[in-house]
Amino acid sequence: MVKDNEDSTGLPDLTGTVVVVTGASSGIGAASARALAGAGARVVLAVRDTAKGERLAATINGDTEVRPLDLEDLASVRAFAAAWTGPIDILINNAGIMLVPEGRTADGFERQIGTNHLGHFVLTNLLLPHITGRIVTVASNAHARGDLDLEDLNWNKRPYDTSQAYSDSKLANLLFTFELQRRLSAGGSSVRAMAVHPGMVRTNLFGHRRVLGSVIDFVGRFAMQDPAHGARATLFAATQDIPGGSFVQPGGYAHLRGTPGISTAAPSAYDATVAGGLWTLSARLTGTELASPM
């Protein structure tokens, strides 16, 4: 059983660093925000429920700000980006949904690909002129089961499978990250993009599925990490001197938990042809004009 009181950060002094964390009002995002602020960073909690974000921010010892961001609504994403001024040292694309019933975002996208990938795709591109350091996207080892259909990304033709849709969205996170790094490198930018698998973490991702959530909660007390430990991979990717295009995950059994380090994703995550196709499709679906880094 993982002890919740173990020191799991080991962060450098981040005084003067500006960090944006999406989905920072609970789970791994909240733990990441708490640790980064505790190390001296100014942390912006980009959250859908600002009241919840404010309650969380009030418990954090450090410099925090709460701003509204709903990744299921591209108008909200664009408003967040349009309101931003000044540099961002680190963008952490943490927010996500998992195994939700079939549904559509405000823009008509399947919810999991819309929230987990397309929302962050737009946010990252719109904020890119402000980003000076790195972009960290929280993925999952479920990406290995992903099988993206670029002809039916939004499940308009196929019978809906929520588990497959989730895995597809996590594969999209990795394809996006590695394609972003290729584009940054080709443009001579020093900005680095990396992705993480946090391991198995006790969060509220299963809260909408009562029976499964109860099982996860019971099993999780013995076999899963608390959010503070689950955030270690994110914090490692956000603060350690590692190459762009890195994939970080826990080094323990089956990568479920343990000390994070650079690892290798499934072969499908490195398919540059699929990544390029996904990038082009994502830009077309969202009407995103791609920006250049700062």
So which residues are the catalytic ones?
166
Among positive and negative, which fits the CA dihedral 274, 163, 25, 265?
Answer: negative
Give the DSSP letter of residue 260.
E
**Strands of the 260-263 sheet, one edge to the other:** 63-68, 42-47, 18-22, 88-93, 131-138, 192-196, 247-250, 260-263
Question: CB-based burial of residue 38 (10 Å sphere; 0-12 exposed, 13-18 middle, 19+ buried)?
Answer: middle
b/e burial code for range 204-238 (CB count within 10 A of at least 16 → b)? ebbeebeeeeeebeeebeeebbbbbbbbbbbbbbb
